[in-house]
Structure 1
Amino acid sequence: MANVAIVIAVAVVVISLLYQCMKSTYSSRVQQVAKATTGDQKLQKSRTIPGMEKRHPEDGNLQDIADAGGLIQFLFKLHAKYGHVASFWFGKHYYVSLASPEAWKDHMKYFDRPSHLFEFIMPLVGEYSIQFANGEDAKRRRKAYDVAFQSNSIKKYLKSFQERADDLAEKISSFPSGEHIPLRESISSFGSKAFGRVLFGDYFEDEKRALKLYNVYQTTSDLLIKRMNNIEDENDKEFDVAIRAFREVIDDAVRHRHDNPPRKEEEDSDFLEVLLGFCTNEEHLFSEAISYYVGGYHTSVALLVWVFYFLSKDMDAQDKVYREIIEVLGKEQYVDAQSQTQLKYLRRFMDETLRWAVIAALAARVNYEEDTKVLEYIIPKGVGVVHALAAVLLDKDMWPDPDRFDPDRFLPENLSARHKLAFSPFGFAGKRICPGYRFAYAEATVLLTSLCRKFKFRLVEGQDIQRNFGMTTYPDKEILVLVEKRQ
């Protein structure tokens, strides 16, 4: 669940989405939060911070972002030109971006987020989402919700992950020999079922219900992108219909829960039960449910797609993963909390995937209380600060030849030579790290051990796969693989 408080990701963030979104009228709630980030007097304090001047009085550097191909690509260029601490204008709002572990260290303790940076997602998740919450309210929410994603809770999810993994293995076994299997499509279905079950309980054990959840979300997210880009005049109506359908699925799960409460020993780790006990009204519950579903689904699916892509490219690495699985688990044993820690090469492979693919490419924080000193610079209070995660994860000084995929970067002797914040794929700041990072590792480990023990995966030749940077980084096209049953 990647960005940092929770990665709210809608497939890819195309440039026109960002550009049109920032030209739209902000909601009054976000405007109130945003007022602290403007004002020439405050900016006088930060004049020594290098960066870009406004290109347009209203749009700031949005056209520069568009010209770069996206916010993430823009940040690469910004830091390449101005250094590890650099400023720019996101619409009317002045931002400072940090792209070094040393700078991040000075910004570790801040919890609040500049909500307007993520406002484009509000039509999907709603204004009550934790995505837009700050201060004590957001801290109370995180404390309540995090219970469902702690280590003890993750242990209880392993069985559910395994059942979904077995379902996918059975489906793959049914494909004719030599058929090209679409990797992202297959894993997306698994991810939706697994995460839907964990968030909303046994209601989504039913295959048809799980498929409906997956389909209504895909429809809603696709329409959101079209809506923000003004592609269709009637899109607002279609989007409203899709959101209602999405809500109906969640409402059905809630009604099912009221009729079928969890066992006493499961209540503390059950996310829907936590929401029912914490949320003040139906709108609040719906916003939080969608927020966590979107964030968790996208980041876990992206991680798995990229891992299988790299395994399918490198048969030697795949064989090494297989041998480790057999050594630790044998032919039949399933993953548990202890064996998960023993799969050391597989963990290094996942970590290198998170680094190379930069699943979560940025995070953001803001200090509304006082000015902040970062390295030799003073950032005025109320100014949004971007944590350019992608820029650090692909920094050639910290990761030599950063486009080369090499799990050995994460051998203990190599880790000790790097700053401890250099690898922060789930963020790091203000106790608002992505709440689902344990979940992502556990889910991926279960599926990888299940499928790699039964099948060999080989990339179909002739594919040119590139990163598509958005709020979650996906391959730029579907990945086709060939699957062979192991003897």
Structure 2
Amino acid sequence: MASFGILVAFAVIVMSILFKWFESNCPQGSACAKADQILETLTIVPGMKRRHQEDGNLQDITEAGGFPQFLFTLHEKYGPIASFWYGRHYYVSLGSPEAWKHTIKLFDRPNILYEFGRPMIGDDNMQYCNGEEGKARRKMYDVPFRHEAVKRYYEYYKKIADDIAGKLSAIPPGDHISLKEYMSLYVSRAFLRVSFGDLFDDERNVVVLHSHYETAMEALNQKIRYPCLETEENFKAALKVWHNQILDVILHRRENPPLNEKDRIFLDILLDCCKSEEHLLGEVAVYYTGGYHTTTFLLVWAFYYISRDMEMQDKIYEEITTILGTGKEVDFGILADLEYLKRVLNEAIRCSVLAPFAARVNNEEDMKVSEYTIEKGTGIVHAIGVVHMDKNIWPEPERFDPDRFLPEQTAKRHKLAFSPFGFAGKRMCPGYRLAYAEGVVLLATLCRKFKFHLVRNKSIQRKYGFVTLPSEEVFVTIEKREQR
């Protein structure tokens, strides 16, 4: 299946779009031109001089292989606080948790860094909504993702995880199994059911909606790589089919509203809050995209790492069987007890560099970071991948070691050193509790029943994008465990 367009290397995909955007939106004398004076008034933040007046360091980003790789090279050369130019826009990238703490109140995003997703998700959605309107939306939208709400979802996660286990049990011994195929099915079913309703109790509806989503993503990739009338029309046609499927989901929920308050889900919040069909469609699209990709590839990476290490799988199995025994089911009540399993998930997030960066705009006031002043209006990048691979924080950072997250080890680090879901301005990923819950339930369910072995026991490289993917398909074989 095709992966979402945001996962393709930044510069390769969006360069032509950005050049046109700069031309039409940043004329001389406009607010964009203010960036030209920034360095004249501030203590100079070390960093790259722009190669071109219009394009800034976009060529450097391209040569690095993409935006996440560029951040690694930028901070390696210039240190934890470094500057660059994204077109005409001046940015400061922060590659240390000590620097991040100064930005903890920032809410607004620099939307130009996320322009690549606009053709798919539209203009009116939480991805691009800043200021008081954005804060108000987040306050409303976060309700079905809070701690108490997530507790209700475990029964669905458990049922879906058991279904996945049943499918794996039916596969002949020695057959190669695509981790992405099964992780994708699990996450799609889980997220769609708890967020968009009982229509997705039927797996066929999940498969249909997701297949149209993947088709639209592939058409978008083709449109950007090979811009012409044909690829533009193909994308529009595929997007229309996917949007029509979403509208069917919305109509079903309107005709089958919840019977009581406790059964309200994310889609019910949207039906109450969204001011137009375009707004409603955009919010569904952006939340599904975010809810699917990060968790799917978190699980792919987690199973990849444990498939390399049978001792690690045995530790997970011992913890599960010790806590659950022979009869107890995986539920919310045992989440806090599965300490080793949660450490595995955290280390999978860190070691895979799952979320390489986040970004904000300093729309509050001039701020002091170390000896530098970051002026109001400046874009700020949180170089999460740089911090998660910092050998001074994480010795031997390429080594997968869940014990990095033992309480005594965590206590030695800055509290922001592990910030995979963001932290600033109450705008961290709204679904982070869902991601952990989905991950714990599936790992506990499958590791209780199976041993996983890599088909080719070799290191898989990272393919950086907005979410970091394995550089190639990861295949495993399974071996049924003898049940205690």
TM-score range, shorter chain: over 0.9
Residues 377-456 of structure 1 aligned to structure 2 (within 5 Å): 377-456=372-451
Residue pair 2:106, 2:364 contacting (<8 A) in 1 also: no
Residues 115-264 of structure 1 aligned to structure 2 (within 5 Å): 115-230=111-226, 233-264=229-260
Cα deviations by residue, 1:389-419 (Å, 9 ceiling, x for unpaired)? 0000000110011001111111111111111
Q: CA deviation at 1:206?
A: 1.3
Q: CA deviation at 1:36?
A: 5.6
Q: CA deviation at 1:196?
A: 1.2
What TM-score, normalized by structure 2, do the two folds share? 0.95
Q: CA deviation at 1:170?
A: 1.1
Q: CA deviation at 1:225?
A: 1.9
| Ranges in structure 1 where 5+ consecutive residues have no aligned partner | 1-7
Mapped partners of 1:474, 1:468: distance in 2: 5
Please say which of residues 457-466 and 240-249 is displaced more in the overlay. Answer: 457-466
Q: From the superposition, tell whether residues 39 and 193 of structure 1 become closer, same or farther in structure 2 (CA, over 3 Å).
A: same
**Corresponding residue SS for 1:211:** helix
Match status 1:333 vs 2:355: no
| Ranges in structure 2 where 5+ consecutive residues have no aligned partner | none
Question: For residue 103 of structure 2, what is the aligned residue in structure 1?
Answer: 107
Mapped partners of 1:213, 1:156: distance in 2: 24
Mapped partners of 1:131, 1:252: distance in 2: 23
Q: From the superposition, tell whether residues 344 and 324 of structure 1 become closer, same or farther in structure 2 (CA, over 3 Å).
A: same
Residue pair 1:36, 1:382 contacting (<8 A) in 2 also: no
**Corresponding residue SS for 1:280:** coil
Q: CA deviation at 1:233?
A: 4.6
Q: CA deviation at 1:11?
A: 3.5
**Corresponding residue SS for 1:106:** helix
**How many residues of Structure 1 are paired with residues of Structure 2 in the alignment?**
477
Residue pair 1:191, 1:301 contacting (<8 A) in 2 also: yes
Please say which of residues 84-93 and 257-266 is displaced more in the overlay. Answer: 257-266
Cα deviations by residue, 1:143-197 (Å, 9 ceiling, x for unpaired)? 0000010011101111111121111111111111110111111211211111111
Identical columns (%)? 49
Mapped partners of 1:164, 1:232: distance in 2: 42
Q: CA deviation at 1:20?
A: 2.5
Q: CA deviation at 1:211?
A: 0.2
Q: From the superposition, tell whether residues 190 and 444 of structure 1 become closer, same or farther in structure 2 (CA, over 3 Å).
A: same
Residue pair 2:43, 2:373 contacting (<8 A) in 1 also: no
Residue 170 of structure 1 aligns to which amino acid in structure 2?
Answer: G
Q: CA deviation at 1:133?
A: 0.7
Mapped partners of 2:431, 2:356: distance in 1: 16
Match status 1:319 vs 2:344: no
Mapped partners of 1:485, 1:35: distance in 2: 63
**Corresponding residue SS for 1:52:** coil
Q: From the superposition, tell whether residues 135 and 28 of structure 1 become closer, same or farther in structure 2 (CA, over 3 Å).
A: farther
Residue pair 2:55, 2:88 contacting (<8 A) in 1 also: yes
Mapped partners of 1:30, 1:327: distance in 2: 62
Greater RCO, CA 8 A, separation 6+: 1
Residue pair 1:37, 1:382 contacting (<8 A) in 2 also: no
Residue pair 1:267, 1:273 contacting (<8 A) in 2 also: no
Q: From the superposition, tell whether residues 373 and 462 of structure 1 become closer, same or farther in structure 2 (CA, over 3 Å).
A: same
Q: CA deviation at 1:199?
A: 1.7
Mapped partners of 2:216, 2:98: distance in 1: 40
Match status 1:347 vs 2:351: no
Match status 1:45 vs 2:45: no
Q: From the superposition, tell whether residues 81 and 27 of structure 1 become closer, same or farther in structure 2 (CA, over 3 Å).
A: closer
Question: For residue 281 of structure 1, what is the aligned residue in structure 2?
Answer: 276
What TM-score, normalized by structure 1, do the two folds share? 0.94
Cα deviations by residue, 1:362-392 (Å, 9 ceiling, x for unpaired)? 0111122422211211111111000000000
Cα deviations by residue, 1:88-141 (Å, 9 ceiling, x for unpaired)? 011121111000011001111111111111111100111001111111000010
Residue 87 of structure 2 aligns to which amino acid in structure 1?
Answer: G
Question: For residue 362 of structure 2, what is the aligned residue in structure 1?
Answer: 367
RMSD over aligned Cα atoms = 1.9
Please say which of residues 439-448 and 53-62 is displaced more in the overlay. Answer: 53-62
Match status 1:12 vs 2:14: no
Residue 412 of structure 1 aligns to which amino acid in structure 2?
Answer: P
Q: CA deviation at 1:59?
A: 1.3
**Corresponding residue SS for 1:97:** strand
Residue pair 2:103, 2:424 contacting (<8 A) in 1 also: yes
Question: For residue 5 of structure 1, what is the aligned residue in structure 2?
Answer: none
Mapped partners of 1:162, 1:335: distance in 2: 7
**Corresponding residue SS for 1:276:** helix
Question: For residue 266 of structure 1, what is the aligned residue in structure 2?
Answer: 262
